[in-house]
Amino acid sequence: MRRNRETYRGRNDRALEDKKMTAKHGKSKMKLWQKILLGSLAFLVISAGGIFAYGTIVLHRTEDVMRSTFEELGLGSSKKSDDIIKATKPLTVLLMGIDTGDKTRADLWEGLSDTMIVMTINPQTNTTTMVSLERDMLTDVVDPDGDFLATDKLNAAYSLGGTATAVATIQQQLGLDIDKYALINMNGLKDLVDAVGGIDVNNTLDFPISIEETEPDYTATIESGVQHIDGDQALVYARMRHQDPEGDIGRQARQREVITQVVSKVLSLNSVANYEKILQAVSGNMKTDFAVNAKSLTSLLGYKDAFKKMCSIKLQGVGEMIDGGSYQVMPENNLLSVQNALRLSLGKSAKKSLSTGIVTFENYYGALSTETILPTILITVDGQTTEKTLLTDGTQVTADEAVEKSNTATDDNEEAAGYYYYSYEDEPTQETNSESSSQQYEPTD
| Residues linked to residue 201 through DSSP beta bridges, in sequence order | 227
Pairing of strands 127-133, 309-315: parallel
The count of other CB atoms within 10 Å of the CB of residue 175 is 18
Please give the pLDDT value at position 368: 83
User: For the chain, what's the residue count?
Assistant: 445
Tell me how crowded residue 185 is: count the other CB atoms within 10 A of its CB. 23
3-53 pLDDT, tens per residue? 332 333 333 333 333 433 332 333 333 334 444 444 455 555 555 555 445
For the four alpha carbons of 134, 137, 143 and 147, in that order, the dihedral sign comes to negative
What are the CA-CA distances from residue 302 to residues 45, 135, 283, 288, 290 (Å)? 9, 32, 22, 19, 15
Q: What is d(CA 88, CA 344) in angstroms, rounded to the nearest whole number?
A: 16
Q: Which fold has domain 70-408?
A: Aminopeptidase (3.40.630)
Q: Which residues pair with 320 in a beta bridge?
A: 327
Asked whether the beta carbons of 366 and 332 are under 8 A apart, the reply is no
Q: What is the pLDDT of residues 413-445, one digit of tens each?
A: 444 434 444 333 333 333 333 333 333 333 333
**CB 187 within 8 Å of CB 285:** yes
Nearest to 288 by CA among 52, 56, 70, 3: 70
What's phi and psi for 136, nearest 5 deg? Answer: -90, 10
Rounded to whole angstroms, the Cα distance separating 149 from 156 reads 10
- Crossing angle of helices 156-174 and 332-345, rounded to 10°: 70
How far, in Å, CA of 37 to CA of 183, rounded? 10
pTM of the model as a whole: 0.69
Cα-flanking dihedrals φ and ψ of residue 185, to 5°? Answer: -90, 170
Amino acid at 208: P
How many other CB atoms are there within 10 angstroms of residue 407's CB atom?
11
* Sheet hosting strand 91-99, strand order edge to edge: 286-288, 180-185, 91-99, 112-122, 127-133, 309-315, 376-381, 384-390, 396-397
pLDDT of the residue at 1: 26
Regions of the chain with pLDDT less than 50: 1-39, 51-52, 54, 77-81, 101-106, 410-445
Q: Tell me, what's the pLDDT at 209?
A: 95
CA–CA dist 40, 180 (Å, integer) = 11
Which CA distances in Å does 77 have to 80, 120, 176? Answer: 6, 14, 10
The pLDDT of residue 335: 93
Please count the other Cβ atoms lying within 10 Å of the Cβ belonging to residue 227. Answer: 18
Taking the domains of the chain in order of start, what are their residue ranges? 70-408
Measured from the Cβ of residue 354, the count of other Cβ atoms closer than 10 Å reads 23
Reported as half-sphere exposure (CB side, CA atoms, 13 A), residue 290 has a value of: 34
Map residue 120 onto helix, strand or coil.
Answer: strand
Instruction: Report the pLDDT value the prediction gives residue 370, as an integer from 0 to 100.
Output: 74
Phi/psi of residue 384, nearest 5 degrees: -105, 130
- Between the alpha carbon of residue 304 and those of residues 12, 88, 298, the distances in Å are 38, 11, 11
- The reported pLDDT for the residue numbered 203 is 96
What are the DSSP calls for 24-62, one per residue? Answer: PP-------HHHHHHHHHIIIIIHHHHHHHHTHHHHHHH
